[in-house]
Amino acid sequence: MDQNLALRTADTAGGAWQNKLLAALPRQVWARVEPHLSAIHAQPGEILGQSHLPLDYAYFPLTSIVSIQYMTTDGATIEIAAVGSEGVVGVNLFLGGGAAANRLVIQNLGHIYRLRREVLQKEFSRGGAMQKLLLQYTQRLLAQIAQISVCNQRHSIDQQLSRWLVQTLDRLGSQEVMITHELLANTLGVRREGITESARKLHRAGIITYQRGRIVVIDPMKLKARCCECYAVMRYAHGGLTRLPSAARQIMMCPAADANPLAISNLQFADESPTPI
């Protein structure tokens, strides 16, 4: 749980500007918030919060990713959203709740800023720039949750794995991710054998290499080409695309189009911005 995390007041591999919400705060708001921020050195697998248990802090990832997971009564897990430097973990805190809605798991080694919930709630209640930023982000998070729900229901493990890898690499700004097949299976809510088979296909196609929990993407464009449309739809929702690629627009406007699924390779990314996800 959170109290076991190692706290650091320095060495945050950069600064708060790495989180896009914190970076967007006006100077006066930042001056009120900054004294209450503390940096966490996050370790993979650490738990920031559990479903229905009190959440004392909101978390603003810098270089780490937090996986928001649902855990079933038999202990199985599935990721319903992920939050990197584009967002904040703990939207419940400013939407009227005081507990985590789901399990919050650190995905990779990195840094996160945390802010006590009372400070977040007070700033939110002012109704100014921070409230606007947080509500806009909540809208994007809801879009992500909805799309991942679709992805889990409608798309193959191959497509889900490709989509997850591309999104994770976007957030990390890297071509390498440290995660075991078992953790990946728990994240995507599928059997480990399914992940192993899909990873083998990517390896045989010359797209990735993997060894001992380390996946290296050696052909990112081919990996994108294997994603389902969910990647483009979520990028658009997060502002990473200034307009939805035409093929994805057709998919969204025509529910029957999934009978003839379009690969991401058919989508045009000419207007991509560097915004992650």
- H or E stretch at 31: helix 27-33
Nearest residue (CB) to Zn ion, 161 versus 228 = 228
Contact 251, 258 (CB under 8 A): yes
- Shortest distance, CB of residue 233 to Zn ion, whole angstroms? 8
Q: Does 230 participate in binding Zn ion (rule CB under 5 A)?
A: yes
Q: By rule CB under 5 A, what count of residues binds Zn ion?
A: 4
Of the candidates 126, 133, 121, which has an alpha carbon nearest to the alpha carbon of residue 87?
133
Q: Does 241 participate in binding Zn ion (rule CB under 5 A)?
A: no
Cα–Cα distance between 55 and 62 in angstroms, integer? 19
- Token readout for 276 is 């992650």
- Shortest distance, CB of residue 39 to Zn ion, whole angstroms? 34
- H or E stretch at 38: strand 37-42
Per CB under 5 A, the list member of 161, 228, 241, 244 interacting with Zn ion is 228
Cα–Cα distance between 188 and 156 in angstroms, integer? 11
- Shortest distance, CB of residue 181 to Zn ion, whole angstroms? 20
Nearest residue (CB) to Zn ion, 48 versus 188 = 188
Contact 147, 234 (CB under 8 A): yes
Of the candidates 102, 82, 83, 106, which has an alpha carbon nearest to the alpha carbon of residue 92?
102
Q: Does 111 participate in binding Zn ion (rule CB under 5 A)?
A: no
Nearest residue (CB) to Zn ion, 17 versus 269 = 269
By CB under 5 A, the residues from 145 to 174 that bind Zn ion are 151, 155
Nearest residue (CB) to Zn ion, 22 versus 232 = 232
- Shortest distance, CB of residue 160 to Zn ion, whole angstroms? 6
> CB under 8 Å, gap of 24 or more: what pairs does 75-78 form?
76/186, 76/189, 77/103, 77/186, 77/187, 77/189, 78/152, 78/186, 78/187, 78/188, 78/189
Q: Show the site string, 184-223: x = touches Zn ion by CB under 5 A, - = not.
A: ----------------------------------------
- Shortest distance, CB of residue 154 to Zn ion, whole angstroms? 7
- Shortest distance, CB of residue 228 to Zn ion, whole angstroms? 3
Q: Using CB under 5 A as the criterion, which residues of the chain lie in contact with Zn ion when the complex forms?
A: 151, 155, 228, 230
